[in-house]
Amino acid sequence: MAIADAKKYKFLYVNVNAEGGASDGGTLIKCNLHHTIKQIRVRLPDDSTLLNDDTPIPFHIIADDAFALKRMLMKPYSHISQDHHEKIYSYRLSRTHCVLENAFSIQQMRLRFFGN
């Protein structure tokens, strides 16, 4: 499990589950990031506004469907019978995973021993 910055593709957090067999949701619950966020010991970025809008938007972590929904966590809709707006939301949210995939690709190029 990893968290990467969307602007610079910089890893902000990485957790490698050495035990194996744990689901994504189980990995989140066991990792120290979950505990520090829950105990408010980690400082998440402040709310910020979008272009041409004065409404502050809180910081969110984008996750896949395996994670339990939390206040700071956004995930796609999981039910099959999604309406048009839910499908668009789920598609756009799933596109954000490209940031993390790109961060891993950049890291792989830097450290070639991760490749084949």
Q: Could you say which DSSP state residue 112 is in?
A: G
Give alpha helix (H) positions in 31-71.
32-38
Q: How far apart are CA 88 and CA 49, in angstroms?
A: 22
pLDDT tens-digit profile of 91-111?
888 888 788 888 888 888 877
In this predicted model, which residue has the larger pLDDT, 71 or 40? Answer: 71
Domain residue spans of the chain: 2-114
In this predicted model, which residue has the larger pLDDT, 108 or 116? Answer: 108
Position 42 scores a pLDDT of: 63
pLDDT tens-digit profile of 47-63?
888 888 888 888 778 87
Position 22 scores a pLDDT of: 57
Q: b or e along 7-32 (b: 16 or more beta carbons within 10 Å of the residue's beta carbon)?
A: eebeeeeeeeeeeeeeeeeebbeebe
Position 86 scores a pLDDT of: 92
> Regarding beta strands 11-14 and 2-4, do their DSSP bridges make them parallel or antiparallel, or are they unpaired?
antiparallel
- Sorting pLDDT into bands at 50, 70 and 90, what band is 88? very high
Give percent above pLDDT 70 in the chain.
76
Q: Could you say which DSSP state residue 113 is in?
A: G
